[in-house]
Amino acid sequence: MNENAHTSARCRRLTGCALTGVLVYLPVLAQTSLGADLASGPVQKQDLNITAIAIFIVFVLSTLGITFWAAKRVHSRRDFLVAGGEITPFQNGLAIAGDFMSAATFLGITGALYFNGVDAYILGVGIMVSWPIIMMVIAERFRNLGRYTFIDVVSYRLAQKPMRIMASCVSLGIVLFYLMAQMVGAGTLIQILFGLDYFWAVIIVGFLMVIYVTFGGMIATTWVQIIKAGLLLLGGSYLAFALLGHFNFSPHDMLLTATQAHPQGNAFLEPGGWWLGDSISVITVGLTMMFGVMGLPHILMRFFTVKDAAAARASVFVATTIMSYFYILILIIGIGAVALLWGDTTYLDASGKLAGGANMVAIHLSHILGGDLMLGFMAAVSFATILAVVAGLTLSGAATIAHDLYAHAFHHGEISGEVEIKVTRYSTITIGLLAIAFGMAFEGQNVAVTAGFALALAASVNCPIIFLAIYWSGLTTRGAVVAGYAGLALSATLIILSPGVMVAILGYDTALFPYTYPTIIAMPFTLITAWVVSRLDNSARADQDRTGFTEQYVRSETGIGVPDGQG
């Protein structure tokens, strides 16, 4: 059998695997890779993209109009924080999918596939694995136990003040680190796509996210996500179908052409090279992706925007379906781009490298398949995705400050809804200013580690505490609080000692901790610490914590006890 026959056979095998196995696919680590590629040094500012700016202005005006409409519908704390529980499962599922169908997914993962081949699939395996788990073991119970934030759930039967303070520290750490990565990535990305100065890009993103959240709350944030998700699905569908149409809708021909064009040849379709055979790295990445999603505050908050537990579960099903379709598009675009783009000197810079870096693969492909109009459209949608993500993060952080800390930890829940809304709005403005300050302070820096830290923190601390609080009757306040702080400290220490900080930022030749993510050590450590401390806890509070589990379990499973109109 000749070489072309070998390649053809591999293409057929990959085609079959891709069409049946792509549902275990892609995004959050992409947010890290995007931050790394875009925010690791100076970038070349592009010419002003008038088409992209015009399309983006239309998007901004539309979403500001929605914010004005949403502001008129905000009459209570519940309306502001969770849209009154009136979001439909389809709308909520589309908004959840919008949180993950980000610029990082679209640009970062296509670039990873383009340069590294099928090995890039590992970046998203954990993400899609997590959603069925969320649907089956978290969504309904969250909706029955909580009202506004995930901290309502973990503190349901435990002592309110220490639990809310501990969980708020972790939650705000996740939000702020994510925002830092998003703002720096946004400023650099817009330099490349729009030709705008970094300063103005950061100011625009910060200003708009504050407007969306301060005036429109969860209603405006949800509709911004829905519109952004729809636009990204539209653009991604066009690129994928146009790309397949170029090869007469034959995935086999597209993959065959890609392997012939790529320098790796047949190895482009073979796993194992990118990760250098390090199975521990693969495992810790998978754990971080899978369990990190279950601990992200802005994702968990969305379960409270629907009317009941069944709607929460339906939302996850809708989100999983939409994301699965989108990641099929990403697969086609990322690998198929090799067939059209590789070696095209039109899109190379003076040094012979791809102009704009790895994250520009999808943008250059947009120009090939749709000219300046499609290039402008996809650039504008990429900017819009950043706005939607930071709006959700900001609302989550503001709700933590106002609802969990100010209202419950410090005032024992004895403040009015009007006061809580006012504090939430002040918190939104504060977080927006902090995000802008972070964006300015870390311009040109490699902030990939901050996004990785956010995910690792969610997986290593939030996820274990959530599972134990819902399912283990033996968890006590002391066990949860000690484990939370200990897991936070260990995660932070291992991140600092990892290659992402010691090598990439501090300049050491080697790192004391060999893996980028601490999850493989920190997550079991948090679980074991919570178990040991809870088992040794013989206090009166511990007896109360254990006794309260039965009522919590009945409510989480049946919804009995949920106030009318809130579950």
Read off the CATH number of the domain in which 220 is found.
1.20.1730.10
Residue 424 resides in a domain? yes
Q: What is the mean pLDDT of residues 372-394?
A: 85
| Residues 6 or more apart whose Cβ sits within 8 Å of residue 100 | 27, 28, 127, 323
Q: What is the pLDDT of residue 22?
A: 31
Q: What is the pLDDT of residue 27?
A: 33
Residue 478 resides in a domain? no
Q: What is the pLDDT of residue 59?
A: 85
The 10s digit of each residue's pLDDT in 504-552 is 778 888 889 988 889 999 999 999 999 999 999 999 999 999 999 999 9
pLDDT at 115 over 80: yes
- Please count the structural domains in the chain: 1
Q: What is the mean pLDDT of residues 277-293?
A: 80
- Supply 95's token pair: 């908004």
Instruction: Find where tokens 């899978």 sit.
Output: 290
Mean pLDDT of the chain: 83
pLDDT at 146 over 70: yes
Q: What is the pLDDT of residue 28?
A: 37
For the chain, what is the radius of gyration of the CA atoms? Answer: 23
Distance of alpha carbon 278 from alpha carbon 326, whole angstroms: 29
Instruction: With beta carbons less than 8 A apart as the criterion, state whether 395 and 217 touch.
Output: yes
pLDDT at 41 over 70: no
Give the 3-state secondary structure of 424-484. HHHHHHHHHHHHHHHHHHCCCCCCHHHHHHHHHHHHHHHHHHHHHHHHCCCCCHHHHHHHH
Looking at this protein, which amino acid is placed at residue 103? A
Residue 13 resides in a domain? yes
* Helices and strands (DSSP H and E) totals, the chain: 25, 0
Measured in whole angstroms, how far is the alpha carbon of residue 518 from the centre of its chain? 18
pLDDT at 154 over 90: yes
Instruction: With beta carbons less than 8 A apart as the criterion, state whether 326 and 97 touch.
Output: yes
Better-predicted residue by pLDDT, 377 or 566: 377
Residue 565 resides in a domain? no
Better-predicted residue by pLDDT, 68 or 264: 68
Any bridge partners for residue 354, and if so which? 348
pLDDT at 359 over 90: no
Q: What is the pLDDT of residue 122?
A: 63
Q: Work out whether the CA dihedral 145, 170, 528, 299 comes out positive or negative.
A: positive
**Dihedral-angle region of residue 445 (phi above 0 means left; psi in -120 to 50 means alpha; beta otherwise):** beta
Q: Which of 5, 185, 205 is nearest to 107 (CA)?
A: 185
Q: What is the pLDDT of residue 483?
A: 97
Measured in whole angstroms, how far is the alpha carbon of residue 219 from the centre of its chain? 20
Measured in whole angstroms, how far is the alpha carbon of residue 452 from the centre of its chain? 11
Helix (H, G, I), strand (E, B), or coil: what is residue 38? helix
Q: What is the pLDDT of residue 39?
A: 41
Q: What is the pLDDT of residue 18?
A: 35
Residue 420 resides in a domain? yes
pTM: 0.84
Q: What is the mean pLDDT of residues 304-317?
A: 90
| Residues 6 or more apart whose Cβ sits within 8 Å of residue 153 | 141, 142, 145, 146, 466, 469, 470
Q: Out of 22-26, 88-92, 376-380, 555-559, which region has the weakest mean confidence (pLDDT)?
A: 22-26
The 10s digit of each residue's pLDDT in 171-227 is 999 998 888 878 887 777 777 777 778 888 889 888 988 998 999 999 999 998 999
Distance of alpha carbon 285 from alpha carbon 517, whole angstroms: 7
Distances (CA, A) of 334 to 113, 151, 532: 5, 38, 47
pLDDT at 357 over 60: yes
Its domain, for residue 166, covers 3-450
Residue 474 resides in a domain? no
Q: What is the pLDDT of residue 467?
A: 93
Residue 554 resides in a domain? no
CB-count burial class (<10 Å; 0-12, 13-18, 19+) for 146: buried
Better-predicted residue by pLDDT, 494 or 105: 494
Distance of alpha carbon 179 from alpha carbon 402, whole angstroms: 18
Better-predicted residue by pLDDT, 58 or 13: 58
Per-residue confidence band for 88, with pLDDT thresholds at 50, 70 and 90:
very high
- What length does the chain have? 567
Residue 409 resides in a domain? yes
Q: What is the mean pLDDT of residues 313-327?
A: 90
Q: What is the mean pLDDT of residues 95-119?
A: 79
The 10s digit of each residue's pLDDT in 241-270 is 999 999 999 988 998 888 888 888 877 777
Helix boundaries (H) for 247-308: 251-261, 279-293, 297-300
- Supply 476's token pair: 């006590």
Q: What is the pLDDT of residue 5?
A: 54
Per-residue confidence band for 36, with pLDDT thresholds at 50, 70 and 90:
very low
The 10s digit of each residue's pLDDT in 426-481 is 999 999 999 899 888 877 665 656 677 788 899 999 999 999 999 999 999 999 99
Q: What is the mean pLDDT of residues 52-64?
A: 85
| Residues 6 or more apart whose Cβ sits within 8 Å of residue 567 | 143, 144, 307, 308, 309, 559
pLDDT at 25 over 50: no
| Residues 6 or more apart whose Cβ sits within 8 Å of residue 285 | 29, 122, 123, 126, 516, 517
